[in-house]
Structure 1
Amino acid sequence: MTSVIHVNPSLRKAAEILGDARKGMGLDGFPFESKLSMEPLVSKWLFDFKDREDQLGELYRQIKKYTEEHESILGAYPDVTSLVRDHHPIIHLLLSSVFPVSLSENIYGYASGPFMMEPFYITRGLQNLLADATVELQYEQFTEIDKISYTVRACLIILEKYYNIPLDQVLPILFSLRYEGTSMERYYKTTSMLDFLEVKTRGPAPVIDYKKLDYLLRHLNQSEVWLETFSPDVFYFEGFYLAFMNDVTEVETLSRLRKLLLSSDSFLDFNTAKIVANLTRVYLSMLDVEVGIFAVDYPFEKSLEHRYNLHYPIVDNHLEYLFTDTGENIYARACRENRIQLIANLEHEDYLHPVELHLLRKGFKSLMVAPLHDHEKKVVGIMELAAPEPYVFTHVKRLKLNEILPLYDVSVEDSRNAVDNRIQNIIQEQFTNIHPSVLWRFSEVAFNYLNRQGNNSDDVRLIEPVQFRNVYPIYGQIDINSSTSIRNNAVKQDLVKNLYLISEVLEKVYAVTGFHLIKKLSFEVTNAINSLRVDFDINQETSVNNLLVQEINPVLKDLRNNYPKLIETINNYFLEVDSEMGIIYEARKDYECSLNKINNTISHYLEIEEVKNQKIIPHYFEKHKTDGIEYTMYVGQSILQKDSFNMHQLYNLRIWQLYSMVEINRQIAKIRIELPIDMTVSFLILVFNDPLDISFRMEEKRFDVDTSYFARYEILKKRIDKA
């Protein structure tokens, strides 16, 4: 039965839930006076049914009699409580023509005073919907229409009812219904019936012309603009309105899925992927289903899901087994046949692939797998759905899923493309020598190449060379003095220390074991020590390291496990050596630390100065770390995409070279006290006055001097460096 709220305590909770949800609609602080009145509905009854002789005629006579005995039913009430207190016996009767008792269980509807929070009348169907103790009802604002304030909506009603200007003033309201602790989610769109709502005035109303109307409609999101025209001192509302809530879960879920899936990078964000998975459950009306999505190329590439960062599988870390020779499974079959595959009951299958067995052990009984495609219809991803109950995936569910798969296809492809683009940007920024100053030329060449492809040119495979003519080279080098000698001394120091230490250890090991192998290793250690006393070269470093790491260390580790007396001796030795390299690496570490600190200081200075120098004139710049830093700059008109080059800009950069020598030397002097091994630097500047041509070498991915005529520049550089 349909009931009046305030005389039926069992309906209070449903009304409060609905009232709380309506608070989110912006009804707090509503400026217009609103009074609840049944007079419009009473008048309709008394006019429409006075001549009826059927059941409606009997109801008419009851209402007429009640009205004559209780004239206050025609008055206006400031709140719901007063009306219900005085007239609750007749309210149900009055509304029976709107909410038929026979349909009450199937109608989600209510009656409310104009712009009031809680309803005064609610259908049995809506009561049942909101009866659960965990239910949550929330006003949603997914679209710009949803965000129009109720002050503006009230003004739209004034335009419609008072000024007879036809507008879509009954804007729909969207509620979401959720049950706490579950993923269940339903959407209900409320449409209002305003037949019993009246707009009244105090004093003269303003004139509304089309110019004013156009101005108002262009400011739907600004309540203050509307209130300047429709003053609450002039307009007020009486009566009530009816609302009907229609289940639009499937339509709204599909709309939200479309919005999320067609936005860029939707599957690259974990939270968005979770929302998509939940909306998929809601759309399919399968709340206990797990949804997984991951990128894949068919045939399968093992590392692809990590490369694309699109990796939300139910099968956990078993992806590498999906496309092996261990037997076919539902995933491989979906990709091979390129269509949705079902397993109704995993427990009743004659054969289960290890991946399917893994899912069964995880508690899943039924499975549905769909391949996802790119625009060329290649399989680029997989969508998987798994349920703990058998026989939940039917042909109908397959058809329903198939309707939305194109959205997932687009989203997965877009997400993969977004990752590819990011990877290309990283490669461009981090790993190639395409300097920003010359990137414009590479873009021109790429565009020309694409243009030839579009025109079906015969030379479509040929990409034109990237060349800059008549540019001036600027070369500089900051070298660490005697770096080779310093390193050799560090290596020799580590090796000698290591050999003497291991010699003592081997003596103790031989005393305990008497192994002839230990005697042989001791002999090789002694020979290595004698050899280092005479001379040192790079080959000795390699041979001694191999002796220590590949021959002696494995023997010591094995003996440590079998001879308790040797545990302390061998453990003490391994505490002295580097845990990763297996040798003493102290002096060499000091050398590398000093070298890196100097190189980083120089490199950091050059990077800061490069930003400043680009403002003098855009130019090509590259630097390389060796035992020190060397840099090359090319400047000239052909490098400039715009502006012009003149010689004083070249001279300015050469003067900067001299200045940089002084500044770098000063910075090195400041850090020398911090270096484990003291080092100094020398400077080289090559002034080459003739312009030359440079070209980008595709194989080496770098610029180089063009033609043999200009090769003397490179020869001169090498000869000066050797000197």
Structure 2
Amino acid sequence: MNTTPFTKSPFQTLISFHKLIENLEEIAATNVDYRSNYAKALLKEIEPYPEFKDGITDFSFIKKHEELIHNLLADLFPTALTHNEIKAVTIPFQNVTFNYTERFKKILQNAGMTFDIEIRDFEEDQFYILNCILILNACYGQNFDFNKPLFYDIPTAAGIMYHYRILYNADFIEIIPTQNTPLITQEDITLLMNNFDNIDLWKEKFPQGSWILKGFGIVSLFDVTRESSVSDLKSNLLRVKSTQPQSSVSFESIFKSIFKIPDLGVGFILYDEEEEKFTIPPYNDKVTKSYLLNGIDEMKCKNGIYGHCFTAVLEDKKNIIISDVEQFASIPENEKLGNHLLQQNIRSCIFAPVIKDDTLLGIIELVSSQPTALNSINAINLDLFLPYLVDNLEGYKTDKQNQIEAIIQREYTAIHSSVYWKFKREALKYFESNSPTKDYIFKEIIFKEVYPLYGQIDIKGSSEHRNKTVKEDLKNQLETLINLFESQKSNESFVLLEQRIFELQSFNAELDTSLKADTEQQIQNYIETEIHPILRNTTMDTEDETAKQNYFESLDEKTGMFYHSRKKFDNTMSIINKKLAVILDQKQIEAQQIYPHYYERFKTDGVEHNLYIGASIAPAKPFDNLYLNNLRLWQLQTLCEMELEHHQLKATLPYELDVTSLILVFSSPISIRFRMDEKRFDVDGTYNARYEVVKKRIDKATIKGTKERITQKEKITIVYSHNSEQNEYLKYIKYLQFKKILEPAIEQFEVEELQGVSGLRAIRVKVINTNLTDEVHTNTYQDLINEQN
């Protein structure tokens, strides 16, 4: 007997058989002898126990008279049906049950002695309110529908969870008011009807113990394990991509309930059609295991382990059902896959393709350590859940594609947030007008009257450093090879070795001059085709063999050449670019607060950036030149901060590299156009092209009348055309000198005439890097004005 009743209820519960006894008394008074005698005998047996009629409150009484109660209820619990029906006596909504049918007893015995049968997801407040609704329906003529499905979840000793739908029969129950029962008005009923979740209100109208529930109910259970498991599966699949709390029901337990196999294992793999491979799905806490991959993240579909049998999955889209893996593995052509499964103690399995529109999305794997546990008959259960997996996988595939497109758009063809609104507006027009009979002509995205700001921090002499490191690696490799060949004592191919030494020495001597464009490629081809074959096919003594082995271990995996000095240079370039780009991007977030503007950054041999600011980029916000002045001051300060970052970084770099900084001032507004073919913005019109010409050539320019570059390490060079620009930037410089960011000395000079461009001038000033304890603070144009005032 299960007795775990809720402690609070509007009822005083009396388990009574009075209605059944009244029915027996009627039968006893009939003239049908066998029925009458049977009823009289039962009535005589229970006569000494008035509790049967008046009401039982002590559960031990039920335990004591278990057999008599069983006989009393014999008409309601026919012996002929006891092994088929799942039925017991109960009090509705309470976890009180007794007088089980034989089938119900077996279910509970199989669940174990410690198992307490309880209604799924049923709380005490809910119990209280449903009892109140019973009263309203029975005593106040209401007809409230509260038929929420109720379930018992009962496990087996093997760990399979069965789910049972609960149906109540309340024909033998009577609800009686007490002296303390409050009157319920129609207004109360309306109030309660609109406040189902207000437990305090229900307890106020139906105080605890204010009614009597007398009698007993009958609970009948129906096995709905498969239906409930499929429902749980749908819920779990929906939670895979959502932010909902995770269900405590695992995929594996769901499939165990569906197939009724205690040791059932569930795996899953996705099919990548483009690369023809199987991969583990991204369900981090769901189905991450695969018995086919067995610990590997991905595998090509044509891997020999799968053999010919996977043609059924990949081409014919049919299930692979192996009811006896040992027998399957005994066939030579199945040996690899069979042994692969047997090593995991898999004795029967089903591999079922998940298909949408004749396209394979993935494979669901069901495995068991018991032979024949999985077979072609119970494979029919796949039909219960495969449609939901199909929908889920199709949704995942679509989401994945959208995310990939978003990543590509963000990382490779980014549309900056400041101009996104215009692209969005044009895309919306296309969406609203798109139809099979009409071709939409996209309008060009142009922003007129915008002010450009260009700046760069360039690696000083990067080409020279790159050539220098290439030559160092080539010379080191050639000298190592020469030493290897000269130390070769064998006379075998002696003349050939002499020739190769001569050729290696010739290449080495050629590297003492300027590095030609094709020298590196020539040497690489020569070493790969002429030298390495000799080394690999020549046996040397122990010492030389070790040297040869060390040589091959020193080669770069990709190029097959020495990559020591060049690697230090490349790593240094990468570190500098990354550090400086991070500063620029972080400071850009602050700059957008000044006024929304277009921003783009490029990593070359350094870091370049373009800014465009104007009313056409942010038409909803009034534009004023004050915002341009603020942005110019921000740009100058940011380059100062980037210079300081490099100065601090320099000591930790694997290769010493200096940087130079440059700002190009251009006060005339221009237009920029988005070039659809290149997926980027560019200046629009021949007049504006002068700006692009200057931008591309200015970093290599020299001071007029000299061969000195206008850019120098640890200094910022500002190139301009007009006196007004000079005066503006001298104010900024003076202000940053006051803030101890720039040194007092200012250089001013003319720039040597560029091809097609003349009249440029420049200011050059050094960044203070001797005292780096104080952080560079961002100062605005308004701060500058305040300082002057």
Once the two structures are superposed, residues 192-236 of structure 1 have per-residue CA deviations (whole angstroms, 9 ceiling, x without a partner) of 223334445543323333443344344444533422332215345
What residue in structure 2 maps to residue 530 of structure 1? 509
1:393 to 376, 379, 382: 376
The answer (yes or no) to whether the contact 1:197–1:241 under 8 Å persists in 2 is yes
Secondary structure at 1:704 match in 2: strand
Partner of 1:519: 498
1:459 equivalent in alignment to 2:439: yes
Shift of 1:530: 1.7
Deviations along 1:556-581, one digit per CA (max 9) or x if unpaired, are 34436x65453223234456666765
Deviates more, 1:51-60 or 1:616-625: 51-60
Whole-angstrom distance in 1 between the partners of 2:39 and 2:373: 57
- The alignment status of 1:595 with 2:573, answered yes or no, reads yes
Which residues in structure 2 correspond to 1:196-235 (within 5 Å)?
196-232=172-208, 234-235=210-211
Give the letter aligned to residue 389 of structure 1. Answer: T
Match of 1:12 in 2: none
More helix by share: 1
C-alpha distance 49-191 of structure 1, shift in aligned 2 (>3 A) = same
Q: 1:500 aligns with which of 474, 479, 484?
A: 479
Unaligned runs of 5+ in 1: 6-14
Q: Which residue of 2 aligns with 1:255?
A: 231
TM-score, normalised by the number of residues in structure 1: 0.81
Aligned match for 2:618, one of 602, 617, 640? 640
Relative to structure 1, is the Cα distance of residues 138 and 610 closer, same or farther in structure 2, using a 3 angstrom cutoff?
A: farther
**Following TM superposition, by how much is the alpha carbon of 1:189 offset from its aligned partner in structure 2, in angstroms?**
0.9
In structure 2, the CA distance between the partners of 1:654 and 1:133, relative to structure 1 (3 Å rule), is closer
Mapped pair 1:483 → 2:462: yes
The Cα offsets for residues 111-136 of structure 1, whole Å up to 9 and x where unpaired, read as 23576645332111101223336697
Residue pairs, 1:32-181, within 5 angstroms: 34-46=12-24, 48-52=26-30, 53=32, 55-85=34-64, 87-112=65-90, 117-132=95-110, 139=118, 141=120, 149-168=126-145, 171-181=148-158
Mapped pair 1:450 → 2:431: yes
Q: Deviations over 1:497-551 (max 9, x none)?
A: 3333332222112557564443233212211222222333453333344445554
- Residue 302 of structure 2 aligns with an amino acid whose one-letter code is E
Determine if contact 1:471/1:638 at 8 Å carries over to the other structure: yes
SS in 1 for 2:512: helix
| Counterpart contact for 2:233–2:254, Cα < 8 Å | yes
1:57 deviates by 2.6
| Among 610, 625, 628, the residue aligned to 2:588 | 610
SS at match of 1:105: coil
What TM-score, normalized by structure 2, do the two folds share? 0.74
Relative to structure 1, is the Cα distance of residues 577 and 401 closer, same or farther in structure 2, using a 3 angstrom cutoff? Answer: closer
Partner of 2:163: 187
Q: Alignment RMSD, CA only?
A: 4.2
| Structure-1 separation of matches of 2:214 and 2:653 | 87
The structure 2 residue matched to 1:373, chosen from 350, 356, 381, is 356
SS in 2 for 1:91: helix
Mean Cα deviation higher: 287-296 or 491-500: 287-296
8 Å CA contact 2:9, 2:128 repeated in 1: yes
- Please report how far the alpha carbon of residue 247 of structure 1 lies from its aligned counterpart in structure 2 after TM superposition: 1.2
Check conservation: 2:445, 2:674, Cα contact below 8 A: yes
Distance 1:646 1:88 in 2: 93
CA contact (8 A) 1:137 1:176 kept: no
Give matches, 1:295-444, under 5 Å.
301-303=274-276, 305-306=278-279, 316=293, 317=299, 319-320=301-302, 329-331=311-313, 334-335=316-317, 358=337, 362=341, 369=352, 372-374=355-357, 380=361, 388-389=371-372, 392-394=375-377, 398=380, 401-402=382-383, 405-444=386-425
CA distance, structure 1, for counterparts of residue 374 and residue 15 of structure 2: 54
- Which of 633, 653, 658 is the aligned partner of 1:680? 658
Q: Secondary structure at the match of 1:245?
A: strand
Distance 1:681 1:342, change over 3 A: closer
In the TM superposition, what is the alpha-carbon distance from 1:631 to its structure 2 partner? 0.5
Q: Tell me whether 357-366 or 72-81 shows the greater mean CA deviation.
A: 357-366
* Alpha-carbon distance change, 420 to 139 in structure 1, aligned in 2, over 3 angstroms: farther
**Structure 2 unaligned spans of 5+:** 294-298, 702-789
The 3 A distance-change label for structure 1 pair 473 and 548 is: same
Secondary structure (helix, strand or coil) at the match of 2:110 reads: coil
Letter in 2 for 1:152: I
Name which structure has the greater RCO, CA cutoff 8 Å, separation 6+: 1
Change (3 A) 1:652 1:586: same
The superposition leaves residues 460-495 of structure 1 with CA deviations (integer Å, 9 ceiling, x where unpaired) of: 4x4443332332221111112222223333333333
Deviation readout 1:698-720 (Å, 9 max, x if unpaired)? 33222222233422221121221
Q: Is the contact made by 2:90 and 2:217 (CA closer than 8 Å) also made in structure 1? A: yes
Q: 1:572 to 1:617 in 2, by over 3 A?
A: same
Contact 2:326 2:347 in 1 (8 A): no
CA distance change for structure 1 residues 303 and 636 in 2, over 3 Å: closer, same or farther?
farther
Distance 1:72 1:312, change over 3 A: closer
Q: How does 1:710-721 map to 2 (within 5 A)?
A: 710-721=688-699
Give the 3 Å change call, closer, same or farther, for CA 652–344 of structure 1 in structure 2. Answer: same
Shift of 1:623: 0.8
CA contact (8 A) 2:351 2:363 kept: no
Task: State, as a whole percentage, how many aligned pairs show the same letter.
Answer: 26
One-letter code of the match for 1:458?
K
Give me the whole-angstrom Cα distance separating, in 2, the residues matched to 1:416 and 1:172. 35
How far residue 275 of structure 1 moved from its aligned partner, in angstroms, is 4.9
Looking at structure 1, the residues matched to 332 and 384 of structure 2 have their Cα atoms a distance apart, in angstroms, of 29
* TM superposition shift of 1:694: 2.1
Q: Give the partner amino acid of 2:609.
A: Y
C-alpha distance in 2 between matches for 1:39 and 1:139: 24
Pairwise CA distance, 1:153:
2.5
